[in-house]
Structure 1
Amino acid sequence: MRITLRQLQVFRAVCAQQSYSRAAEEMALTQPAVSLQIRQLEELVGQPLFDYVGKKLYRTEVAELLLQASEDIFQRLQSLDMQLSDLQGSLQGQLRLAVESSAKYLTPHLFAAFRQQHPEVSLHLTVANRGQIVKRLGDNRDDLVIMSLVPPDMALEFLPFLNYPIVAVAPPDHPLVRAARLSLRDLGAYPLLVREPGSGTRKACEEYFQQKRAHFPQVQECSSSEAQREAVVAGLGLALLPRHAVRSEVAEGSLVELAVEELPLFRSWCVVHPRGKRLTPVAEAFFAFIREERHLIGALAERFEQRR
C-alpha cells in the first residue's frame, strides 16, 4: 500500500468536517482535489470510505479503521518531533488536552503555570461532558484528559490532584435562604436544575442523592453549567454546582450558597490516560508537573478561587 501522509491529512479533514467542501476550505484545496485524494485512497484500500445517507456523510467500517491507524501515525510523528526538539535542549510541541466542563475554568491557569517551565509548548483544549470524555478516552483522541469519577471498567492510569466542592445555590429571595440548617431532603420540595445526561457533576450528585435517600421529583435540564447558573439566578429552581463556578455570583449577591448539612460534596479532578498509552514528551512532562507540583497547584487553585 502506497498511502501518502497528504492523503491521510485530507481523509482526516473530511472525517472531522463530515463534508468534502468544508475539508477543502480547511486545507486550502479545491473540492475536486479533495475528491481525487479520497478516490485514490479508496482505490488503495479497495473499499469505499464514506456513504451518503440523506445528503449526510457517514464513515464506513473501513474508514473507522483507517482513521484509528492515521491517528496513531500522526501521534507518533508528533512524538518524534517533540523528541527531536528535546534532544536539542527544549521541550516543544502541542498538548492535546480534553477536560470535563467542571474543570474548564481552572485548566487554562494550570496550563499557564506549566508553560512557565516550558514556554515553547502550546495547548489544544477540548471541553466536553463526562460521557463525551469517556468516549474520547476509548477512541484515544487526546494526550491526556482531566475528569472526575474515573470509570472503573476501563483500563486507565489516573492521578487525583485537586479536590473541588459541590454546593447548593439558590436566588437570594428563595424561602430556603432564611433557614439556618437544611438537609438534602429539604431541597426536594423545589425544582432542581441539573446538567444534561453524561455530565460528571450530575452523575456525582445523583449517586450522592441515592446514598442519602434524597428525592427530587421536579427536575429541569440545562445544557451547560452557565445555563444552569443563570436559570437559578432567574428563579427557576435550585442547583448543585462546583463552588468555583458560582463564586462570583455568590460574592455579588445574585446567588446564595445554602447551608445544607450534607454539603459540600467533595470530588477530585484527575489527570487520566489509557493504560499502556505511549505518551508524547509534552504529555509526560505535563503528567509529571501534575504529580510533582502539588503545592504550586494548590496555591494556584486558591488564587483562582479568590479571583472568581
Structure 2
Amino acid sequence: MVDFRSLSLKHLRAFAATIRRGSVTQAAQALFVTPPAVTTHLKSLEKIVGQSIYERNPDGPEPTEVGRELLEAADEIEKVIERARVKIEALASGATGSVILGVVSTGKYFAPGIVARFRQDHPDIRVRLAIGNRTEIIKGLERREYDLLIMGRPPAHVAVEREVLGDHPHVLVAAPDHPLVGDPEILPEDLLRETFLAREEGSGTRLLMGRFLERIGGGRSFNTVEMGTNETIKQAVMAGLGIAIISAHTCHSELAEGKLALLQAEGLPLVRQWFLIHRADRELTKAAEVLRRFIVDHKGEILP
C-alpha cells in the first residue's frame, strides 16, 4: 500500500514544474531552487509512490499514468491553497467574515434594509440581526454579544464608542376619525381622558412615553394598556382602542396611507437620536469595521 505520510507540497511542485517547464533546470529556475534540489524531490517522490512517475523523451519528460494522477492532485492542491490565500487576504482586509448587529425592536423597520444594501456591496460578509427591546439589548451589550448596535440613547454604565445616525422622532397617533384629529390646541386635560396604548416595561418607547405623560400631567395618572409589539399597537390604534406615542419610523407607511393620523400637542414630536455604537473596550473585527463604515457613510439614506 502506498504511504503518503511523507508526501510534501515540495515534492508535488518539483514534479509539476519539471513536467510543465520541460526540464529539471527550468523547473529549478521557476521554483527558485537548485537543480539538484529538484532532482532530490523527484527521486523521493518516486520512492514514496513506489513507481516511475515520468519518462525521459527527446521532447522532454512525459508523465506516466501514475504521474498524471500526481499532477492532477498537485493542481487541486494548488487551487485549494489559492482559495485559502484569497479568503485569508479578504479576512485581513475585512472583505469577508461575520458580524452580529444588535438592533432595538423599533429599528427592525429599517435595519433589514441596511443589511440588504450592505450585502449587495459585500456579499461575503454575513450579518446576523439580533433584535430586542431596550432592556434586552443593553443586557446583550453588557455580555459582549454584539459587534455593533443600533439603538437610542446609549446606557451610561457601559463605555461605548458612538456615532449619531440621525433624528428619531416619536409622535402621537390616533385613528383617522378620532375627535382630536385636526385639533390645533390639544390640552393635557384632553389627553387625560384618553387610553394610551404602550409597549411593555423595558421598552425605550415606553420610557419616553412615561416621561412625556408625567411632564404634561403633573403627576396625574393616565389610563394605559400594555401591548407587546408596535404592530399590535398600530392595529389597536387603527381600530379605535386608544392612542399611542410611537416611533415615527415604525408608522410612516400607515401615516402616508391615511390609516393613522397625527395628533398635535405641545412638546411633540419627541425627538431623540439613533446611535450606532460598540463597546469601547472591544476592538472591532475587520468585517465589523467595514459594516460600521458602510452604515456611517449611508446614514443619510437608511432612515425612513
- TM-score of the superposed pair, with normalisation by structure 1: 0.65
* Aligned partner of 2:140 among 126, 136, 144: 136
Structure 2 residue aligned with 1:148: 152
Structure 2 residue aligned with 1:290: 295
Distance 1:82 1:276 in 2: 30
Q: How far apart are 1:178 and its partner, in Å? A: 4.0
Greater Cα offset, 164-173 or 210-219: 210-219
Structure 1, unaligned stretches of length 5 or more? Answer: 1-80
Structure 2 residue aligned with 1:74: none
Q: How far apart are 1:275 and its partner, in Å? A: 1.8
Per the alignment, do residues 235 and 98 of structure 1 end up closer, same or farther by CA in structure 2, a change over 3 Å counting?
Answer: same
Structure 2 residue aligned with 1:111: 115
Q: Does the aligned pair in 1 maintain the 2:94–2:289 contact within 8 Å? A: no
Distance 2:150 2:189 in 1: 31
SS in structure 2 at match of 1:175:
coil
Deviations 1:223-266 (A, max 9, x none): 01111111111111100111121222223322111122311111
Distance 2:156 2:92 in 1: 40
Greater Cα offset, 225-234 or 205-214: 205-214
Distance 2:242 2:178 in 1: 9
Aligned residues: 219
What's the Cα RMSD here?
2.4
Deviations 1:3-44 (A, max 9, x none): xxxxxxxxxxxxxxxxxxxxxxxxxxxxxxxxxxxxxxxxxx
Per the alignment, do residues 298 and 263 of structure 1 end up closer, same or farther by CA in structure 2, a change over 3 Å counting?
Answer: same
Distance 1:106 1:265 in 2: 19
Distance 1:230 1:155 in 2: 38
Sequence identity of aligned pairs in percent?
Answer: 36
* Aligned partner of 2:178 among 174, 179, 185: 174
Distance 1:209 1:241 in 2: 13
Distance 2:98 2:135 in 1: 24
Greater Cα offset, 201-210 or 268-277: 201-210
Q: How far apart are 1:93 and its partner, in Å? A: 1.4
Bigger Rg, structure 1 or 2: 2
Structure 2, unaligned stretches of length 5 or more? Answer: 1-84
Q: How far apart are 1:115 and its partner, in Å? A: 3.0
Distance 2:86 2:244 in 1: 44
Q: Does the aligned pair in 1 maintain the 2:105–2:132 contact within 8 Å? A: yes
Q: Does the aligned pair in 1 maintain the 2:213–2:222 contact within 8 Å? A: no
Distance 1:90 1:137 in 2: 23
Q: How far apart are 1:164 and its partner, in Å? A: 1.7
Structure 2 residue aligned with 1:44: none
* Aligned partner of 1:157 among 145, 156, 161: 161
Structure 2 residue aligned with 1:186: 190
Greater Cα offset, 93-102 or 105-114: 105-114
The one-letter code of the counterpart of 2:150 is I
SS in structure 2 at match of 1:177:
coil
Distance 1:178 1:98 in 2: 38
Distance 1:274 1:159 in 2: 12
- TM-score of the superposed pair, with normalisation by structure 2: 0.66
Q: Does the aligned pair in 2 maintain the 1:82–1:91 contact within 8 Å? A: no
Structure 1 residue aligned with 2:7: none
Distance 2:108 2:237 in 1: 20
Distance 1:87 1:245 in 2: 36
SS in structure 2 at match of 1:207:
helix
Structure 1 residue aligned with 2:130: 126
